[in-house]
Amino acid sequence: MNDTTRATHHTGETRPALALYAAQASDAQLFGQYLQRLGLPADLAQSGGFAAALAGCELHSAPEVLVVDLDGQASPLQAIAELSQVCPPSTRLVALGSAHDLNLYRALLHAGVHDYLCKPVPLDQFASTLRRARDPQEHGTPGSRTGRTLAVTGVGGGRGTSTVVAALGRLLAVERHSSSAVVDFDRGRCDQALLLGHEGDAGLAATLAADELDSRLLERAITQVDERLYLLAQQPDLHAPDSFSQEHLLNLGAGLCQLFNQVIWDLPSGRCHGALDVLAHADTRILLCDFSVQDARNCLRLLGEIGDESNGQRLLLVANPQRPGHSDVVEREQFEDFIGRKVDLTLPHAGSTLADSLLAGPLQLHRAPALRQALLDLADLACGRTPAAPPLAAGNLILRLRQALGRTRRAA
C-alpha cells in the first residue's frame, strides 16, 4: 500500500488512495498506529464513523479504498447503500464492526462490500485486507484466510524461548479455545516434548525429509497432546541433517496453517538452518531479550535482518529477565533508546518455580500466577487481541478506597 498512489476522479479531482473512518476516537487512534506500522500516514484514520465517511465523500473525492465503521448504525445495509450513491463504482468498500454475524457478512458482500472486518482486528488481517482491496486479482478471493504463524526466538541463549512457546500453546488451546500446533525447531535439544508431557518422536524429522507435503502426511505426522493442542517435534539430534530447502520449510508452515488456527514455532537463538526464513515470513515475530548490553546489540542486529512491520507482520519485543541483579543489566530506557523501539511486555521473574514443576509432569503454569497472566496477555497480543484487564482483588480495592478517602480529607 502506497499513500502517494493517486487516481483521477471523473470530475478531474484527484482521489486519495485510502480513507478510514472509525466510530470511536480510540479505534481511530489504534488504526492510525496500524497505518503507521504499514508505512502510511496515521491521519488517514479519522473518527466519526459512517456520518463522517458520508460527509467526506460528498465534499471531496471518494478514495480508492474506503474503510468505514458501521458500529452504531441501526441499518448497516442502508448505510452502505447511501455510501454507494456518493462513491464511484471503482471504490472498494471495507466495513468494520463489532457484530459476529454471518448473515450480516453475507448481506454486506451481496451489497458490494469488498470485505467485513470484525473488531478487534489483528494487524496482519488488516494489512492483507488492504492489499486485496488495492489489487483483488493478485491476492485471491476476498475474505479468504488461513491460520496464523507465531515465531518465537531469543536474541541470545537462555531467554526462556521453549518455556514461553509451550505456555503460549497451552494457553491458546485451553484458555482461548484455539486449535494450536507447536513446532519445536530447536532440533538439537527438543524441549517441547518434556514441557508438554509427550514421550517419543512427534513427526518433525519425517516431514522435513519428505519429498512432498500434503495435509494427510501432516495429520499423520503431528502428535496430539491435548484436546486442541498438537506437537511437531523430533528426538534430540545435534547433527540433524539440513537437507531441506527454504521452499520445503515454508510449504510445511503453510500446510500447518491450513490445519490449525495458531502455529507457534520454537526457534533456537543460534539461527539454525531455516530459522530466519520462518522469522521473515511469520505473521507475528516474538523476540525475547534481557536488559543487557549483549542482548541490546543482538536485538539491534536481528531487527535489521528480519525487517519492520510495514508488510503487516506484528513484531513484539518481550523482556524475560533471567538473571536479576546481574552486573551486565542496563536500564530499560537505555535499552530502548539503543535499539530504537519500545519493549512491548516484560515478563515477571518466576525463579525456579516452573522448572521444579516439571518433576511432577508437564509445565504447570498455575504455580506462577503472575507469569501465567503475563503470558496470557502476550498470547492475546500475538493474535491481535487486546489483553483483558485482570480482575481487581478485594484487598487492592479497599486499599485504593482508603487512599482516595485520605486524599479527600487532606484536600478538605
DSSP 56-110: HHHHSPPPSEEEEE-TT-S-HHHHHHHHHHHS-TTPEEEEEES---HHHHHHHHH
Cell of 167: 505456555
Confidence bin at 88 (pLDDT 50/70/90):
confident
One domain for residues 113 and 231 = no
One domain for residues 97 and 197 = no
Confidence bin at 140 (pLDDT 50/70/90):
very low
One domain for residues 216 and 350 = yes
One domain for residues 162 and 110 = no
Rounded to an integer, the average pLDDT of 397-402 is 56
Rounded to an integer, the average pLDDT of 162-191 is 92
Is the pLDDT confidence value at 1 over 80?
Answer: no
Question: Would you state the pLDDT for residue 199?
Answer: 82
Contacts of 293 (CB under 8 A, 6+ apart): 328, 330
One domain for residues 76 and 103 = yes
One domain for residues 206 and 99 = no
Is the pLDDT confidence value at 138 over 70?
Answer: no
Question: Would you state the pLDDT for residue 408?
Answer: 54
Rounded to an integer, the average pLDDT of 197-212 is 87
Q: Examine residue 396 and state whether it is found in any structural domain, yes or no.
A: no
Q: Examine residue 404 and state whether it is found in any structural domain, yes or no.
A: no
Question: Would you state the pLDDT for residue 6?
Answer: 36
State the CATH number of the domain containing residue 129: 3.40.50.2300
Max intra-chain CA distance, the chain: 79
Rounded to an integer, the average pLDDT of 101-120 is 87
Give residue-wise pLDDT tens across range 320-371.
887 655 556 788 999 999 999 999 999 998 777 777 777 777 888 888 899 9
Is the pLDDT confidence value at 94 over 90?
Answer: yes
Is the pLDDT confidence value at 146 over 80?
Answer: no
Q: Examine residue 392 and state whether it is found in any structural domain, yes or no.
A: no
Is the pLDDT confidence value at 8 over 80?
Answer: no
Lowest mean pLDDT among 142-151, 231-240, 270-279: 142-151
Other Cβ atoms within 10 Å of 72 Cβ, number: 14
Q: Which domain holds residue 275?
A: 148-382
Q: What percent of the chain has pLDDT over 90?
A: 40
Confidence bin at 5 (pLDDT 50/70/90):
very low
How far is Cα 199 from Cα 163, in angstroms, rounded to an integer? 17
One domain for residues 175 and 96 = no
Give residue-wise pLDDT tens across range 208-251.
988 888 888 888 889 999 889 999 999 888 888 888 999 999 99
Question: Would you state the pLDDT for residue 169?
Answer: 95
Rounded to an integer, the average pLDDT of 244-273 is 91
One domain for residues 185 and 107 = no
Question: Would you state the pLDDT for residue 295?
Answer: 92
Q: Examine residue 347 and state whether it is found in any structural domain, yes or no.
A: yes
One domain for residues 22 and 46 = yes
Cell of 197: 508431557
Which amino acid type is present at position 333?
Answer: E
Listed residues 110, 134, 158: the one ending a domain:
134
Listed residues 134, 159, 174: the one ending a domain:
134
Question: Would you state the pLDDT for residue 367?
Answer: 87
One domain for residues 176 and 88 = no
How far is Cα 360 from Cα 358, in angstroms, rounded to an integer? 5
Question: Would you state the pLDDT for residue 4?
Answer: 36
Dihedral pair phi/psi, residue 151, rounded to 5°: -105, 125
Question: Would you state the pLDDT for residue 131?
Answer: 85
- The tally of domains found in the chain comes to 2
Question: Would you state the pLDDT for residue 137?
Answer: 59
Question: Would you state the pLDDT for residue 17?
Answer: 87
Q: Examine residue 264 and state whether it is found in any structural domain, yes or no.
A: yes
Give residue-wise pLDDT tens across range 286-312.
999 999 999 999 999 998 888 778 777
One domain for residues 155 and 190 = yes
Q: Examine residue 395 and state whether it is found in any structural domain, yes or no.
A: no
Beta sheet of 92-97, edge-to-edge order = 45-47, 18-22, 65-69, 92-97, 115-118
Give residue-wise pLDDT tens across range 20-66.
999 999 999 999 999 988 888 999 999 999 999 999 888 888 888 99
Question: Would you state the pLDDT for residue 173?
Answer: 93
Listed residues 134, 160, 182: the one ending a domain:
134
Q: Examine residue 399 and state whether it is found in any structural domain, yes or no.
A: no
One domain for residues 252 and 359 = yes
Beta sheet of 180-184, edge-to-edge order = 223-224, 229-232, 180-184, 262-267, 148-154, 284-289, 314-319, 345-346
State the CATH number of the domain containing residue 183: 3.40.50.300
Question: Would you state the pLDDT for residue 235?
Answer: 87
Q: Examine residue 76 and state whether it is found in any structural domain, yes or no.
A: yes
